[in-house]
Structure 1
């Protein structure tokens, strides 16, 4: 029995050692090793920015330490003899703006990067390490790590639909906080669609006062929207966290809210999708939308605008009998509605280009002819790999956001009744999000450099309160972060869920109504069952 006992003991010890040597951060760093000792965080901490350009990052770290741990930075010039010093400094030679190194010892930590983005990522790694500790009085003893890190993808995104349900500034800021914590850096903001228009446009005030009325479940809900001052505030908040905000002004479909406000530009729809399109046969439509895009561009400095371009065929039947569209088709030699759609999109893209912005759009626009250097395609139709292939073959850069596994309005557990499933019942588990790899998509082979990154999308048809948002987003946002940051060869789901456990404690502290992967019955689904057939796929 002794040899068996020793074998078991050795296995347990090895497992324990392995766990100790796995960095507890999400997303998992590229390289990490446990260093000797612990760094003490308390009110004696001193933050030093070696470069004046990094002073705002030092301020950010100071605020986060105080907010998260009630740790105030020691007065400058008066640190105690045993002060912990956290140094932020510029490095050289790394062209990846997100890359950083973190070196820790008992005396403090040094975060080094060639770019401010990298310093910011290093700060969030340090914050996560601190969050994984238990406070002792007013201090925390943070195990020391040496980390060299850089992401797999430059684009690590999340899309939020606020047309179908409006969440408001406070909730959006909370989402941005969690994105930053997990090193996600692109916030795609779906602000216009059939249920409601959420972006103030000064030249066309009825877009919000009339088009902002209603949501997916209540067409008479009071108008809800963001003023331009709100937008500036949120964009500035995101910028402080190195998150770019990309607005979406959906066209030529999903235009019902706008058409309620300004019916002169209505291109018609169907009984199921009334007033669904803008009218491509009216010259005034192009000027109207150009005015909207011009104001939008002044509010969002990311240098790109998402123009939608999806699902136009759901409501463009009226184009066949519209006299203006018929004249357009004859004048331009267009043979069908799809060619009209592409013509419309190319004109509106030209407007965006004139504003010195790139165009983003859903994968339906791969059929159009747009300059590859100024166009980004979001591949969402997982069942249409030919659309991705067409976009890549044409030379477009792409962001991968396939419904399976990256649509977070899909349910995440076999027992869930609210939310979407795919045609034969597929849904998006935590594991499927985590294990996503572009290498498993045949169309990507040979085009890897055109893949900017990945993005999850949260459509809000099934959301009627913020609790439901939390339930769909957490903890899948952490799995998304690791899928976007960490190389597939370094990912291990079983190891990840061990690192996930302390994250759930953070969700508790933040009063989030999250899905508990380890105890699924802990938080039941929030919301009401929705007719799946009512969804636009």
Structure 2
């Protein structure tokens, strides 16, 4: 980093209570931080540190006697050096935070600043005056207009009636007129589905009106002809009423979600009264048995209510697997009986100068241990409620306990336990210890830690894992949602780990293992045995089923034959570089595979390259079309990936593709609105691709015909999202993209990536609102034209602007 200070003479020492009166500004365009003292007392010449979190920061040589030091992970500190003169009122110091990059995004902003004096090392003072000086957009409204022209605007009568696209749908003639709610007829075994049906109908008719109903809504379990999936269903609407039959209760629930699509959009339950449903017949079943979504609650904690809200969204769009990323370096989020340190230490982030008290601040959580996203965990009661809530919606919860890497929260907590018990002279202090205290291995993890790995040379590591597995499995049994598989992580073990650990090296020698690779196999042999004793199968990230090899002079991951016949399920996230076809190679080798490609399904990636757009960039920008256009069995289509250099899926390999999964990592996500913004509408494209049959455009050989088919299907998809699906979500904070604009012939033309979304405009310099004029054709007014999509709840989307002179 480069530092510049405008510092006068050293003055009197600033007190701790005045620390918050520092002002911080980050210039997004220049990547520079300016820190100004607003107090009469100066920041002294010595005796303080200012800590902050920063993603992808680049530290370097100090200038002007001020240095920035990397502590660990995303935590940095600013410290005065010899000769620093102090910072008087009104004076500022300036430092560069990042190297230049193609995309300078808002997520890179330094955050969570706080001041600590050396003579009061446990008293941290938060610095709350932080603002970002934004960089202009890089994508012009004209570019957006051209992009949005890939879809046609459809009238409401032409919208696909059911989402995601069903397997078979036959439209009939006429409508079913429902003046009052239909009577619900269901067997006792469909209690949860009856409740769902009642909740769907309640906004449309007064409570109790169904007693006078002449029509019925019949729910039943029965064989769906030609469909083996337990989630298959039929939905029949005729002049007598509605009938939903599923191969199981899950099929009935899916049918009810499709019925929801036929009901008019009344997001706030207003205007109850008669409803006309189209006469139709649907036979439907999912393309993939596994349709998953992963939520990371370790990096930034999300409360129970946010998780339940997310499960409702998943059920609504027929996603059936909730991959719950509960542990990582920055937090352990599940109460485990017998190990209170896991949550007492491993679930708490905040400043402390004393080792073993809590985890360090991360991702802007700041100095306070009371920050509700840095700290937090699910009690046993919370987790039971989540499991039961998911089970009622036919969603399988797959908890993830990260190992052996990404385990810093657990490693720190168990070391603190060991030191406390040892100091007290208690027996069994090392029973659950996870790290070799003599380990001198040199490594740096993907998240910049050098102490985040469970040591396979310690028997106590396996004692810990077995205890945790037993406790998690017991919680699932208590909830009535038995655990079938545990996701055991396995990703991103840093190079160099274990190499200078006496305990690991002793194990390698005694077992005649082949170095670190052999130690890896030994570790997961032991983990699998633990799981089997609980009746569980092993799932993990792709590294669980791979080993490193050299190919054409480059290191790459290849299927690991050691675990090939074990029934391991691998989740393949890395589809970059020479790993683009890794998912196919693993499936062809016989591994059951879930495709979770980062460049398509990582929903924490940014929508586009505009600097103010939230989300990370390491896997690129991912807009709705990138997900919609993904062809699971041939990812080279509509991707720019050269097919010639990719391994193709064999027919046997296709049978090993279990399904698709989206993921939301939360390094850049703290609040529920931020989470929903990144998820929607992209989660709906994932739902479409995981449920719907393979689209005609993906199998059409003629490129001209394929393009026409794609335009028609894409138009239907984005229109139904903008006009019906998203408005039906109530107060969910889905993204409203900036409109496209073009100026032609003295008029301004506007469009949107979700055709049919209401656009409003102004020409007086103010931002549009729901009270502003609607865009109903070319805008002829002169001046600065501002246009924004306005959601059904009055929420304003991104504003686009263009001069019409």
Shorter-chain TM-score bucket reads 0.7 to 0.9
Q: 1:386 to 1:124 in 2, by over 3 A?
A: closer
Q: Give me the whole-angstrom Cα distance separating, in 2, the residues matched to 1:138 and 1:310.
A: 54
Which of these residues, 303, 311, 327, is aligned with residue 484 of structure 2?
Answer: 303
| Corresponding residue of 2:221 | 90
Structure 1 SS opposite 2:563: coil
1:135-534 equivalences in 2 (<5 Å): 137-214=272-349, 215-218=362-365, 220=367, 221-222=369-370, 223-263=375-415, 264-266=433-435, 270=443, 272-300=448-476, 301-313=482-494, 317-367=496-546, 368=560, 369-370=562-563, 372=565, 374-383=567-576, 384-385=579-580, 387-415=582-610, 416-422=612-618, 426-441=620-635, 442-446=647-651, 447-490=653-696, 492-501=713-722, 502-507=724-729, 509-516=730-737, 517-518=753-754, 522=789
C-alpha distance 73-185 of structure 1, shift in aligned 2 (>3 A): farther
1:513 CA displacement: 4.4
- Per the alignment, do residues 41 and 235 of structure 1 end up closer, same or farther by CA in structure 2, a change over 3 Å counting? farther
89-98 or 15-24: bigger deviation: 15-24
Q: Which structure has more strand as a fraction of its residues?
A: 2
Higher Rg:
2
Go from structure 1 to structure 2 and tell me whether the alpha carbon gap of 1:72 and 1:318 turns closer, same or farther (over 3 Å shift).
same
Residues 327 and 109 of structure 1: is their aligned pair in 2 closer, same or farther, counting only changes over 3 Å? same
Deviations 1:104-154 (A, max 9, x none): 023310111221111110010001211447975434333332211111101
Q: In 1, are the aligned partners of 2:679 and 2:734 still within 8 Å (CA)?
A: no
Q: Which residue of 2 aligns with 1:528?
A: none
C-alpha distance in 1, partners of 2:165/2:717?
Answer: 8
Deviation of 1:365 after TM superposition, in Å, equals 1.3
SS of the residue corresponding to residue 157 of structure 1 reads: strand
TM-score, normalised via structure 2 length: 0.59
Look up the match of 1:102.
235
Give 5+ residue unaligned stretches, structure 2.
1-151, 350-361, 416-432, 477-481, 547-559, 636-646, 698-712, 738-752, 760-786, 790-795, 799-805
From the superposition, tell whether residues 17 and 167 of structure 1 become closer, same or farther in structure 2 (CA, over 3 Å): closer
Inter-CA distance 16–456: structure 2 relative to 1 (3 Å threshold): closer
Between Structure 1 and Structure 2, the one with more helix by share is 1
CA distance in 1, matches of 2:539, 2:264: 36
Aligned pair in 2 of structure 1 residues 478, 513: CA closer, same or farther (>3 Å)?
closer
User: Distance between the aligned counterparts of 1:340 and 1:219, measured in 2?
Assistant: 38
Instruction: Determine the C-alpha separation between the residues in 1 that align with 2:515 and 2:585.
Output: 20
Q: CA deviation at 1:466?
A: 1.4
RMSD value, Cα: 2.6
For structure 1, list consecutive stretches of 5 or more residues without a partner in the other structure. 1-14, 526-537
Report the count of equivalent residues: 500
Q: Displacement, 1:389?
A: 4.3
Shift of 1:356: 0.6
Counterparts of 2:568 and 2:623, CA distance in 1: 31
Alpha-carbon distance in 2 for matches of 1:494, 1:29: 17
Cα deviation 1:139-189 (Å, max 9, x = unaligned): 433333221111110111100000011111111111111111100100000
- Spell out, residue by residue over 1:227-251, the C-alpha distance to the aligned partner (whole angstroms, 9 max, x if none): 1111110110011111000000000
Structure 1 partner of 2:110: none
Tell me, in whole angstroms, the C-alpha distance in 1 between the residues paired with 2:194 and 2:208.
10
Could you tell me whether the CA contact under 8 Å between 1:472 and 1:515 is conserved in 2?
A: no
Q: Distance in 2 between matches of 1:452 and 1:60?
A: 28
Distance 2:530 2:594 in 1: 22
Secondary structure at 1:28's aligned position in 2?
Answer: coil
Most deviating of 245-254 and 220-229? 220-229
For 1:382, what is the secondary structure of its paired residue? coil
Counterpart of 2:161?
24
Report SS of the residue matched to 2:600: helix
Given that residues 156 and 484 in structure 1 are in contact (C-alpha distance below 8 angstroms), is that contact kept between their aligned partners in structure 2? yes
**8 Å contact from structure 1 (residues 198, 212) kept in 2:** yes
Change (3 A) 1:30 1:19: farther
- SS for the counterpart of 2:488 is strand
| Alignment partners' CA distance in 2, 1:35 and 1:18 | 20
Look up the SS of the partner of 1:121 in the other structure. Answer: helix
Shift of 1:55: 3.5
Q: How far, CA to CA, are the matches of 2:399 and 2:513 in structure 1?
A: 30
Partner SS, residue 392 of structure 1 = helix
Distance 1:340 1:168, change over 3 A: same
Does 2:56 align with 1:56?
Answer: no
Cα displacement string for residues 274-316 of structure 1 (whole angstroms, at most 9, x for unaligned residues): 32101111111111111011111122324111000000125xx
Deviates most, 346-355 or 329-338? 329-338
Give yes or no for contact 1:164–1:461 (8 Å, CA) kept in 2.
yes
Distance in structure 2 (CA, Å) of the matches to 1:232 and 1:430: 34
**8 A Cα contact 1:385 1:443, kept in partner:** no
